[in-house]
Structure 1
Amino acid sequence: MGASSADRLRKLLHGDEIIVMPCCFDPLSAKLIEQEDFPLTFMSGFATSAARLGMPDTGLMSYGEVIDQGRNICDAVGIPVIGDGDTGYGNALNIKRTVKGFAKAGFAAVMIEDQVAPKRCGHTAGKSVVTRAEAFDRIRAAVDARKEGADILILARTDARHDHGLDEAIARAKEFYALGADILFVEAPRNAEEMQRICTELPGPKMANIIEGGLTPNLSPAELQQLGFKIAAYPITLISAAMKAMSAALGELKTGGVPAERLLPFEEVKSRIGFDDYFEAEKQYEAKLGD
């Protein structure tokens, strides 16, 4: 039996180079990420809510919907997938169920955050965080689920920078790590100086969240590695690129054109989706004439 998804992520975290992590929203986007040789992906809550519901990332997706989407994504690829567990979908016991459910679905890690439920995208207005005590209980419950047998890493996120400042965010993240979190994520630092403080003052692997046009500077992976980040996440890059490409193609069709130059060759479309692999596998079961 090969290494688990969680073990493969642990190995990546021990590597020397920063992990560039484009984020997916469905099995096809995850397959494209794997086909381009990225070693890790994240099921973006922002992008998945947009793709699955056609709605904003404001806590509208249920636990069941997230698990269903995540299971399909994890089944489609061989690279580790991190899942967005939001606030854990309830109290400490709900969080334990969430973490165990994410592990069973095949996720390598689950992100648990300290926003007030229903949460929202970290780069939009109106978010707030729970008390330190509740935030710490969430991470403690997640770690307890892992201790009880869930083979999964815990990515602990704080959004405290927004209302309470960077000092509070760093203090929370330090305690998350002391409680047993594996990866730390301080959301929405405003400049490179704040990003440097996060990397200097916090232990363990840190994740940077790069949203093009968001609150955090869009530094290159090399710059992020120099600061001390281990993972560079790009949560809306693919959904934004897909929306732009589809809108442009629809615009051409609307005016009577044919957007041929915007399209992949049909043979490549079929190959990337998996038709070639399917037909090759099918051959071993085909009945032969005369048998």
Structure 2
Amino acid sequence: MTPALFLLLLLLLPAAAARRPASAAAYDLLHPAMTYRMPTALRELSGICVLPKQRVACVEDQTGTIYVYNLSTRRIEQTIPFGPQGDYEDVAQIGQDWFVLRSDGTLFKRSAGRTTTYATGLDQANEPEGLAYNAAGKALLVACKGAAGVGSPDQLRAVYRLDPGTFRHGLKPAYVLNVAQLTAANVAVNRFAPSAVAVHPKTGHVFVAAASGNALVELDAQGRVLHVEKLPRNLFPQPEGLSFAPNGDLYISSEAGNTKTALIQVFTFRATP
């Protein structure tokens, strides 16, 4: 290699690094920028969705109510009843419409004061737990804690894409997670059962959290594993919720577990230099 070529490569390296997509490594998951302790009504906090104006929508796994929590006042400022008591897992918003996922795979849509239910085709055997809207694909994603379909090896976990019109899941998962592969990528992770899913607003990458295994995984748009990180249990007692602010800041919620209160923690997005 000539000296001139070597110098050219050195000049190009920073530009190449700048084009690398952000990853979970862009978050310092040991040091939250903010920590919010949830009120008693949200002790069983199971899913979150970041809203404008410093607000977060929350659901818990007992009542059919969406709670709008104001991060500035640290109070619940609105409650939106949408259904009967049930085991609700996650919440998402598309425009003015609310969507809530129940553990039996039923999807609740709350729109203009009216609730409609949809059978997604997923059921309690799939253990659907995570719900998120993928704006690029204009479809909801559902992350499942159970095995990825009938006959699939127990080491596989699936994220399904719901049809925007029928809200039925596709015959094949949108993303498949191989637990053995995740364990190989990070030896501290010895199991992984998804509890939440979210799509990064800047990169389109899919983030999946697991309360069983206490870990966070990042996938690219093609489903390739980019990063696997262990979440220490002392900071994340039971990570059940995952959401992003438009600027890329990451919100992770944990059920109370053995602690007195549920938590929402915010992690600042640090764009890859």
TM-score normalized by structure 1? 0.30
Whichever of the two has the greater Rg, that structure is 1
In terms of fraction of residues, the more helix-rich structure is 1
In terms of fraction of residues, the more strand-rich structure is 2
TM-score normalized by structure 2? 0.31
